[in-house]
Chain A
Amino acid sequence: MNLNIDSKSPLPAYQQVSQSLRLEIVSGRLREGDQLPSIRDLARLLRLNPNTVAKAYYTLEQEGFIAGRSGSGSWVTYKPGRSDALRRAMLEDEFRGFLQKAMALGFGAADIKKIVARFVNHE
């Protein structure tokens, strides 16, 4: 699992946790039936308030990514590929951030297209 909390990000910590878990699940690194760490273990690992982790898990449950039974932990319930729209939305989110940086550096659409094409072809 690859979970990082950026303490400089203005995004609330629970959203950072749910976002990185969503990414793990959608990308298939966490699969249907995999058990998630307990709230206590994840809170200690990431040095977060247990309430923050609980809130992230609750969000993911509402979205249908995981299911939990109190006292016995949480499992991934999402089958990858079920929703391409979601993966696309996540990619677009990442891309929007990249575009904003590129534009702040003064690049236009043509430059950006060229760079993307070069990277896709060679790397």
Chain B
Amino acid sequence: MNDAIISVANLEFAFKRKKVFQGLNVIFAQGESVVIAGRNGAGKSTLLRCLAGVYLPDRGEVRLAAGLERRRIGYISDSLSLFEDWPLERAIAFHVRTFGAAAFDDRLLKNLGLSGRERIRQLSAGERVIFHLSLILSQQPELLLIDEILHLIDPYIRELFIDALIESMASRPVTVLMVNHTFNDIERIPERIMIMDGGGFILDESAETLPQKVKKIVFRGDVPAGLPCLFVRESGHIRECFVYPFGKGLSRRFSGQFQDIGLAEIIKAFIGGAYAQKRVD
């Protein structure tokens, strides 16, 4: 593994009485792309905000790699704190000045037919995301924190966003941490899959090996005992069982009935499993 670009040590954080983290530890490596998934309220967005410096930890710390400047950390979320009445041009000039950005690339805005004279409040949700991304990319970020925005934007703008993301990853070393619900378009981008629940990680696997460890098997009637079921989806008397960890031994016992599933479905199964666990607790 490469050196850490950002890490969290014994992080404690609470909103008034609701404790989100009680001693969280995690390390993110230079140059990796990570997706953090989990059910609502799991703590994903709060973690990203702690990493971005938007929230300060109650205890513990967020450590940046030596040489990583704050202005090289780009944080993109749906609650964009932009000056609503400013024309885009003015916000761009301000941003470039504040962050000492070299140049502003307006190709994405042109692609949406924006001239720069529009005011921020006139932008649609998708246009805002693209505008914010353009601002962030002008900072030449070394760390990109992307907080649940893909589901807000239409498929065309989502493609623009993903293209721009891939482009920037190909141009210079950048670490990408995404918090996400929508996987269909991006499932081949993350190299590391993490699932958060109750303020901790319940899964941390490489995207390359995870699909070999999670399989689906369908039963009519009851699920046989001894199968490590992550999550069971019922429909009438049909049971769809998501198995983790999957191994050769299981394959012999239930010959040839295991199905491969994609990352999007794998992640859904883990989140479903987290809800099921919560119901039991």
Contact = CB atoms under 8 A, between A and B. Distances in A.
A49 B171 contact: no
A52 B171 contact: no
Q: How large is the interface on B (under 10, 10 to 19, 20 to 34, 35 or more residues)?
A: 20 to 34
A12 B170 contact: no
A117 B36 CA distance: 51
Interface stretch (B95-103, B119-127, B160-168, B273-281): B160-168
Interface string A49-60: 111100000000
Interface string B81-99: 0000000000000000000
A2 interface: no
B212 A49 contact: no
Given A10-B211, A44-B163, A50 B260 contact: no
A122 interface: no
Contacts of B58: none
A48 B166 CA distance: 8
A101 to B, nearest CB: 10
A104 interface: yes
B162 A50 contact: no
Interface in B17-60: 31, 33
Contacts of A48: 166, 188-189
Contacts of B191: 49, 51-52
B266 to A, nearest CB: 10
B169 interface: yes
A48 B170 CA distance: 11
B33 A49 contact: yes
A47 B185 contact: yes
B260 A47 contact: no
B260 A10 contact: yes
Contact of A7 (B33, B167, B171, B264): B264
A7 B187 contact: yes
Interface string A1-36: 000010111101110000000000000000000000
A46 interface: yes
Nearest to A11: B211
Nearest to B186: A47
Contacts of A7: 187-188, 262-264
Contact of A12 (B166, B208, B261): B208
Contacts of B189: 47-49
Interface string A38-79: 011001101111111000000000000000000000000000
Q: Which residue, A12, A46, A48, A104, has most C-beta atoms of chain B within 10 A? A: A12
Contacts of B33: 49, 51
A8 B188 contact: no
A50 B169 CA distance: 7
A49 B187 contact: no
B167 A47 contact: no
Q: Which residue, A43, A49, A52, has most C-beta atoms of chain B within 10 A? A: A49
B244 to A, nearest CB: 13
B272 interface: no
B212 A47 contact: no
A47 B171 contact: no
B224 interface: no
A119 B186 CA distance: 40
B116 interface: no
B18 to A, nearest CB: 35
A40 B166 CA distance: 7
Give the 7 A-B residue pairs with the shortest CB-CB distance, closest first: A40-B170, A10-B211, A50-B170, A12-B208, A8-B262, A7-B262, A10-B260
11 contacts: A7-B187, A7-B263, A13-B188, A40-B167, A43-B170, A47-B166, A47-B186, A47-B189, A48-B189, A49-B166, A49-B191
